[in-house]
């Protein structure tokens, strides 16, 4: 169902917002032009009604004031108060923006569009995790492993509480002691499934079972669906590590435990995580072990990740660990939408076919606060423009100051991630390499997306616009929030 959220016009003037009536003077008893039309003025909603032979505005209904602040400020620096986050834009049911997964060639099983497909982890409820510290004859654990696992778990729990809006909670079992493998870690070559020295998945699964066995009676595996094997910093093999997501019996890998059989996801790290390599220091990797674990869990929650901007440090979907350029721990709003973790009142949906010129006030997704987090324009049954506000704060406080403004990206549910060229030319956002989403550059950017660029180029700044497929998106004002104008374009 379409709905017009407001029918007043917002004018930006010298840092302030002024609402003026769309039909002239709107007040009780004044003449109006169309029965049923609605206008909001001075905190009241007026409806055009028929009185005798005339059309007039009714007495109006007082609208409770919201706590939303304008992105701009007046000359004294104090924020202005707004009663609505959406002006003039014809907003439709969010169902209109739930474009269908339309891939004909599925490179990977995870969803890029609707409907969401169930995977190992639920979209709501409790997830039980076991952190199991394993050491080796050539890499013995010295420090208390609980210190690291508890720091990791605390951050993971905080992340899930915020980004799932409390729909998912985590519970963990941890240990203060190391469990001793009789193997040398150096004898275990790179277990990463895509690694050049890749061993078989069955060998990795057998190792995981072996490590579960040596925990004895220290864990209760009843209901555990996630197992993370932690190693000492002196580990000499295993490389990037590996994971088990699917087994011979479906979702999760089946393990034998003292409590009976369980079906669980598991993940390991390796020596890669304790050395300066791959564009990041060992310290940066270790500080973001929590985000790496969440990234892998999200794959097993039915998400494709790795777009838009694969490799860019703008979300834990595209860069799992800290980098010299920065780090962000957000999840982009499209995938939050796909998981059902973004409440309906934090999304505005419009379709290109019904688009009217209007504006929205977006709250940064990085920020621990409520507010409108996403504007989505359905371009067709398989394409959508997604707009999200960004700031280098809270979950993104490691980003540089230039990483502020808007990210605008196109979702195309006919496409999938082709990651085969990640080390041979694919810089993460080039249309030459298939992705399910691509970040858009500001209008007039020279070189386009095919050029190797700094990731901050894809942050739309105050006064800039993005025009795509007949839709123009402009950032009109940017402070604590962003005032975004959305309109049809002839370009």
pLDDT in tens, 222-262: 999 999 999 999 999 988 888 888 877 778 999 999 999 99
Model confidence at 291: pLDDT above 90? yes
Least confident of 115-119, 159-163, 377-381, 472-476: 115-119
Contact between residue 279 and residue 324 where contact means Cβ atoms under 8 Å apart: yes
Which pLDDT score is estimated for 68? 30
Least confident of 10-14, 216-220, 237-241, 349-353: 10-14
Model confidence at 6: pLDDT above 90? no
Rounded Cα distance between 10 and 82, Å, is 10
Question: Taking the model in full, what pTM does it have?
Answer: 0.82
Model confidence at 31: pLDDT above 70? yes
Q: Can you tell me the mean pLDDT for 32-47?
A: 73
* Confidence at 479, pLDDT banded by 50, 70, 90: very high
- Give the position of tokens 């962003």: 482
Which pLDDT score is estimated for 20? 32
Model confidence at 28: pLDDT above 90? no
- Give the position of tokens 């005339």: 54
Query: What number of CA atoms fall less than 13 Å from residue 105's CA on the CB side?
Result: 8
Model confidence at 459: pLDDT above 50? yes
* Confidence at 9, pLDDT banded by 50, 70, 90: very low
Structure tokens at 390: 């960004």
Q: Which of 200, 409, 221 is nearest to 312 (CA)?
A: 409
Rounded Cα distance between 159 and 140, Å, is 31
List of residues 6+ apart from 115 with CB closer than 8 A:
98, 100, 101
List of residues 6+ apart from 423 with CB closer than 8 A:
none
Q: Which helix (H) or strand (E) holds 481?
A: none
Structure tokens at 483: 């005032």
Which pLDDT score is estimated for 64? 38
Rounded Cα distance between 307 and 319, Å, is 10
Q: Can you tell me the mean pLDDT for 207-232?
A: 97
Rounded Cα distance between 241 and 472, Å, is 44
Model confidence at 24: pLDDT above 70? no
3-state DSSP assignment of residue 63: coil
Query: What number of CA atoms fall less than 13 Å from residue 265's CA on the CB side?
Result: 22
* Confidence at 199, pLDDT banded by 50, 70, 90: low
Rounded Cα distance between 150 and 293, Å, is 13
Q: Which residue has the higher pLDDT, 79 or 177?
A: 177
Structure tokens at 376: 């989505």
Model confidence at 306: pLDDT above 70? yes
* Confidence at 351, pLDDT banded by 50, 70, 90: very high
- Give the position of tokens 């620096």: 77
Q: Which residue has the higher pLDDT, 29 or 451?
A: 29
Long-range contacts of 176-179 (CB under 8 A, 24+ apart): 176/144, 176/145, 176/146, 177/133, 177/145, 177/218, 178/133, 178/134, 178/135, 178/140, 178/141, 178/145, 178/232, 179/132, 179/133, 179/134, 179/135, 179/211, 179/214, 179/215, 179/218
Q: Which helix (H) or strand (E) holds 289?
A: helix 289-299
By CB atoms closer than 10 A (0-12, 13-18, 19+), residue 378 is: buried
Which pLDDT score is estimated for 4? 35
Least confident of 23-27, 58-62, 260-264, 352-356: 23-27
3-state DSSP assignment of residue 180: strand
Strand partners of residue 50: 55
Model confidence at 182: pLDDT above 50? yes
| DSSP code, position 66 | P
Average pLDDT, rounded, for the chain: 86
Task: Give the distance, in angstroms, between the CA of residue 131 and the centroid of all CA atoms in the same chain.
Answer: 25
Model confidence at 91: pLDDT above 60? yes
Q: Which residue has the higher pLDDT, 280 or 200?
A: 280
- Give the position of tokens 């010298």: 14
Share of the chain above pLDDT 90, in %: 65
Q: Is the peptide bond before 180 cis (omega within 30 degrees of 0)?
A: no
By CB atoms closer than 10 A (0-12, 13-18, 19+), residue 368 is: exposed
Rounded Cα distance between 96 and 1, Å, is 9
Which pLDDT score is estimated for 81? 31
């Amino acid at each position: 169902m379409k709905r017009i959220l407001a029918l007043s016009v917002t004018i930006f003037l010298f840092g302030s917002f002024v609402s003026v009536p769309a039909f002239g003077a709107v007040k009780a008893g004044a003449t109006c032009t169309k029965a049923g039309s609605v206008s909001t003025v001075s905190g009241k909603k007026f409806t055009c009604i028929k009185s005798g032979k005339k059309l007039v505005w009714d007495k109006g209904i007082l609208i409770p004031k919201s706590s939303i602040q304008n992105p701009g400020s007046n000359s004294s620096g104090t924020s202005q108060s707004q009663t609505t986050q959406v002006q003039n834009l014809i907003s439709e049911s969010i169902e209109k923006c739930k474009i269908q997964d339309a891939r004909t060639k599925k490179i990977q099983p995870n969803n890029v569009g609707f409907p969401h497909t169930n995977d190992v982890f639920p979209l709501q409820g409790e997830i039980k995790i076991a952190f199991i510290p394993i050491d080796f004859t050539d890499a013995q654990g010295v420090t208390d492993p609980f210190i690291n696992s508890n720091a990791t778990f605390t951050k993971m729990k905080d992340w899930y509480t915020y980004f799932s809006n409390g729909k998912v909670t985590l519970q963990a079992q941890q240990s203060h002691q190391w469990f001793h493998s009789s193997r040398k870690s150096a004898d275990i070559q790179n277990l990463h499934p895509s690694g050049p020295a890749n061993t078989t998945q069955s060998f990795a699964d057998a190792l995981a079972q072996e490590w579960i066995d040596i925990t004895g009676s220290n864990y209760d595996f009843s209901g555990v669906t996630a197992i993370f094997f932690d190693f000492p910093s002196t580990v000499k093999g295993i490389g990037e590590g590996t994971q088990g997501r699917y087994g011979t019996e479906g979702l999760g890998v089946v393990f034998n435990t003292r409590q009976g059989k369980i079906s669980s996801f598991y993940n390991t790290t390796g020596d890669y995580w304790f050395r300066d390599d791959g564009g990041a220091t060992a310290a940066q990797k270790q500080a973001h072990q929590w985000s790496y674990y969440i990234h892998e869990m999200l794959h097993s929650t039915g998400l494709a990740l790795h777009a838009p901007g694969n490799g860019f440090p703008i979300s834990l979907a595209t860069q799992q660990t800290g980098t010299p350029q920065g780090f962000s721990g957000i999840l982009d709003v499209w995938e939050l939408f796909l998981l059902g973790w973004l409440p309906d009142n934090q999304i505005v949906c419009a379709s290109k076919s019904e688009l009217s010129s209007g504006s929205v006030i977006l709250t940064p997704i990085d920020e621990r606060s409520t507010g409108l987090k996403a504007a989505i324009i359905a371009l067709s049954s398989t394409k959508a423009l997604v707009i999200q506000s960004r700031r280098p704060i809270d979950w993104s406080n490691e980003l540089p100051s230039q990483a502020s403004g808007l990210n605008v990206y196109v979702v195309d549910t006919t496409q999938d991630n082709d990651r085969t060229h990640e080390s041979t030319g694919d810089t993460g956002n080039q249309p030459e390499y298939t992705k399910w989403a691509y970040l858009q550059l500001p209008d007039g950017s020279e070189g386009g997306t095919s050029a190797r660029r700094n990731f901050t180029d894809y942050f739309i700044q105050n006064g800039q616009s993005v025009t795509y497929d007949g839709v123009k998106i402009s950032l009109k004002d940017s402070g604590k929030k962003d005032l975004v104008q959305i309109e049809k374009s002839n370009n």
